[in-house]
Chain A
Amino acid sequence: KNEVEQSPQNLTAQEGEFITINCSYSVGISALHWLQQHPGGGIVSLFMLSSGKKKHGRLIATINIQEKHSSLHITASHPRDSAVYICAVKKGDSNQFYFGTGTSLTVIP
């Protein structure tokens, strides 16, 4: 049973396109993270959300606590955005984080 589901699993976009990656979770959470994993394997935290919406440059992350759903949007996508994007949630009553399987994004010039 996956506590965190992401869609799509793979995504190919043309440079400049608007991209949306979705995350649904089934547990009560205290925080949700969007992470970026580069081809070399390193993981970088992009956003931490507990409610509402956050924006950083071309990246926007939203969360709907009632619907247990979060989205990551990339505006004006660029080939350097190509990476795996991972949703991870921290259960409210736990010190654990649960990870989605990731969305592999390829942006073609």
Chain B
Amino acid sequence: SQTIHQWPATLVQPVGSPLSLECTVEGTSNPNLYWYRQAAGRGLQLLFYSVGIGQISSEVPQNLSASRPQDRQFILSSKKLLLSDSGFYLCAFNRDRPTNEQFFGPGTRLTVL
């Protein structure tokens, strides 16, 4: 079966510190991968997506970057966190075809102080 993992589950970081969130998918190959951010009480904002190893598309200019070093690994990073980076970060993948629904990981709740 196909599963998606994210860690850590929660994170509290000071302003200006680096960030690395990891997402891995099991049970599928060459998935499309996505990073979303959900601000409190708001919908999901697509940050990055990837259709293959090393292929990253950014949807919004920001303080974050993404990398896909392996087929089923997607990493969200920042060199220096801002207060506005606080939020709930969700990783997702498409199963089979891009037109299909997305399956989401459990999320990481990031608080920047």
A binds B: no
